[in-house]
Structure 1
Amino acid sequence: MNDFLIVGAGISGLTVAWTLRRRGARVRLLEADALAGGKIRSRRRDGFLLDAGPNSLLDRGEGLGRLIDALGLGERVVEANTLAQRRYVVRAGRVIALPTSLMAFVRTPLFSLGAKLRLLSEPWRARAEHDESVARFVRRRLGPEFLDWAVDPFVSGVYAGDPERLSVRAATGRIHALEAEAGSLFRGALRRARQGRASGPVPKGRMISFREGIGELTDALAEAMGDDLLVSRPVHALRRTDRHWVAETSQGAETGETLVLAVPSFAAADLLDPFDGRLAAQLREIEYPGVVSLALGFAREQVRHPLDGFGLLIPSREGCETLGVLFSSTLFPDRAPPGRVLLTAFIGGARNPAATARDDAALIATAVDDLGPLLGLTGAPVFSEVSRWPRAIPQYTVGHLDRMANIAQGLNGLPGLQVAANWRGGVAVGDCINNALSLADTLLPPVSPGDGQA
Structure 2
Amino acid sequence: MNDFLIVGAGISGLTLAWSLHRRGARVRILEAGTTAGGKIRSRLTDGYLSDAGPNSLLDRGEGLSRLIDALDLRGHAVEANPLAQRRYVTRAGRMIALPASPLAFLRTPLFSLRAKLRLLSEPWRGHAETDESVASFVRRRLGPEFLDWAVDPFVSGVYAGDPERLSVRAATGRIYALEAEAGSLFRGALRRARQGRASGPVPQGRLISFRGGVGELPAALASALGSALATNTPVTALRRTDRHWVAETSKGIESGSTLILATPAFVAAELLEPFDLDLATRLRAVEYPGVVSLALGFAREQIRHPLDGFGLLIPRREGCETLGVLFSSTLFPGRAPAGHVLLTAFIGGARNPGAPAHEDAALVARVVQDLQPLLGVIGTPAFSAVNRWPQAIPQYTVGHLERMAMIEQGLAALPDIHAAANWHGGVAVGDCINNALALAERLVPTEAPHGEV
8 Å CA contact 1:23, 1:452 repeated in 2: no
Secondary structure of the residue aligned to 2:445 is coil
1:19 maps onto 2:6 in alignment? no
Corresponding residue for 1:221?
221
Corresponding residue for 2:351?
351
How far apart are the structure 1 equivalents of 2:435 and 2:43?
A: 27
Stretches of structure 2 that go unaligned for 5 or more consecutive residues are none
Instruction: Out of 196-205 and 178-187, give the one that drifted further.
Output: 196-205
Corresponding residue for 2:401?
401
Q: CA RMSD in A?
A: 1.1
8 Å CA contact 1:12, 1:436 repeated in 2: yes
Deviation at 1:452, TM superposition (A): 6.8
How far apart are the structure 2 equivalents of 1:9 and 1:431?
A: 16
How far apart are the structure 1 equivalents of 2:191 and 2:201?
A: 14
CA offsets, 1:65-102, max 9 Å, x none?
Answer: 00100000000000000000000000000000000001
Deviation at 1:109, TM superposition (A): 0.2
How far apart are the structure 2 equivalents of 1:255 and 1:184?
A: 51
Q: CA 1:453–1:121 in 2, change beyond 3 Å: closer, same or farther?
A: farther
1:139 maps onto 2:131 in alignment? no
How far apart are the structure 2 equivalents of 1:3 and 1:430?
A: 26
8 Å CA contact 2:2, 2:28 repeated in 1: no
Deviation at 1:173, TM superposition (A): 0.1
CA offsets, 1:136-177, max 9 Å, x none?
Answer: 000000000000000000000000000000000000000000
CA offsets, 1:175-196, max 9 Å, x none?
Answer: 0000000000000000000011
How far apart are the structure 1 equivalents of 2:373 and 2:29?
A: 48
Stretches of structure 1 that go unaligned for 5 or more consecutive residues are none
Corresponding residue for 2:107?
107
Corresponding residue for 1:431?
431
Corresponding residue for 1:293?
293
Which 4+ stretches in 1 moved above 2 angstroms? 450-454
How far apart are the structure 1 equivalents of 2:450 and 2:370?
A: 52
How far apart are the structure 2 equivalents of 1:89 and 1:200?
A: 18
How far apart are the structure 2 equivalents of 1:245 and 1:453?
A: 28
Corresponding residue for 1:97?
97
Secondary structure of the residue aligned to 2:6 is strand
How far apart are the structure 2 equivalents of 1:201 and 1:385?
A: 32
Q: TM-score, length-normalised on structure 2?
A: 0.99
1:66 maps onto 2:66 in alignment? yes
Corresponding residue for 1:251?
251
Corresponding residue for 2:49?
49
Deviation at 1:442, TM superposition (A): 0.6
8 Å CA contact 2:70, 2:450 repeated in 1: no
- Counting matched residue pairs gives 453
8 Å CA contact 1:446, 1:453 repeated in 2: no
Q: Tell me the amino acid that sits aligned with residue 302 of structure 1.
A: Q
CA offsets, 1:305-324, max 9 Å, x none?
Answer: 00000000000000100000
Corresponding residue for 2:389?
389
Corresponding residue for 2:160?
160
How far apart are the structure 1 equivalents of 2:70 and 2:189?
A: 34
Corresponding residue for 1:282?
282
Corresponding residue for 2:75?
75
Corresponding residue for 1:337?
337
1:29 maps onto 2:29 in alignment? yes
Q: CA 1:103–1:453 in 2, change beyond 3 Å: closer, same or farther?
A: farther
How far apart are the structure 1 equivalents of 2:447 and 2:295?
A: 45
Deviation at 1:248, TM superposition (A): 0.2
CA offsets, 1:248-281, max 9 Å, x none?
Answer: 0011110000000000000000000000000000
Q: Tell me the amino acid that sits aligned with residue 108 of structure 2.
A: T
How far apart are the structure 1 equivalents of 2:74 and 2:162?
A: 37
How far apart are the structure 1 equivalents of 2:398 and 2:261?
A: 24
How far apart are the structure 2 equivalents of 1:201 and 1:269?
A: 31
Secondary structure of the residue aligned to 1:257 is strand
How far apart are the structure 1 equivalents of 2:201 and 2:249?
A: 44
Deviation at 1:388, TM superposition (A): 0.2
How far apart are the structure 2 equivalents of 1:190 and 1:200?
A: 11
Deviation at 1:404, TM superposition (A): 0.3
